[in-house]
Amino acid sequence: MNRKEITKFLSELLVEKRLSGMGKYYASEVTMDWYIGKITHTMRRVDFIQFVPKNQTVSGIEHGDFYFYEVKSCKEDYNSGNGLTFEGDKNYIVTTAETYKKIIKDVDYDVGVLIACPVLREIKDEIENPTQIDGNIDDWILKIAKNAHSKNRERPLSQLLFFMLRSGK
């Protein structure tokens, strides 16, 4: 598979296996600082933002967590300078086992890594000997290769929800 196809596969896998479901809310291609960024040419985009409220009460929503996901199909994609926006409570790179091995030493301490792994395969085995991606997400799952560590987010809930709403999914 080429870079574009791998990115599409990883994005679909993320949506299907991690972002969808009851009580989960997400948006894709979320633009941060649209107006100021347009003027100063500092506009940034996040591949996916997920909001997970603690529960459906006012307090539960106010104390919900934001997860930022950046999909990276290869090391060149990771190093491209486009899209390493990590402003969530937890932040993840979504990639393949092959790419994981090439970038792991460059990944910040608090950023986690999810890798595509065949459903019945152990993550350790997948990292040691990556499986060729066939494009069928039904046989794959995202597994945590490196845990994300919580960090204090600098943006308020209302602003991040607005960015998500504006993206339209």
Residue 37's pLDDT band (boundaries 50, 70, 90)?
Answer: low
Judged by DSSP in three states, 26 sits in strand
Sequence length of the chain is 169
Q: Is a pLDDT exceeding 90 seen at residue 21?
A: no
H-helix or E-strand spanning residue 144 = strand 140-146
Measured from the Cβ of residue 96, the count of other Cβ atoms closer than 10 Å reads 23
- Nearest to residue 65, comparing CAs of 95, 32, 25, 30? 25
For residue 162, give the DSSP letter: H
Residue 85's pLDDT band (boundaries 50, 70, 90)?
Answer: confident
Q: What's the rounded mean pLDDT across residues 88-116?
A: 96
Q: Which residues pair with 54 in a beta bridge?
A: none
Q: What's the rounded mean pLDDT across residues 143-167?
A: 94
- Number of domains comprising the chain: 1
> How far, in Å, CA of 13 to CA of 5, rounded?
12
Residues 6+ apart with CB under 8 A from 51: 25, 26, 64, 65, 66, 67, 160, 161, 164
Q: Is a pLDDT exceeding 70 seen at residue 24?
A: yes
Average pLDDT of the chain is 91
> How far, in Å, CA of 59 to CA of 20, rounded?
23
Compute the chain's Rg from CA coordinates.
Answer: 16
Q: Which two tokens stand for residue 105?
A: 């030493």
Are 82 and 7 contacting, i.e. CB atoms less than 8 angstroms apart? no
Q: What's the rounded mean pLDDT across residues 63-67?
A: 95
Domain interval for residue 101: 3-167
**pLDDT score at 35:** 65
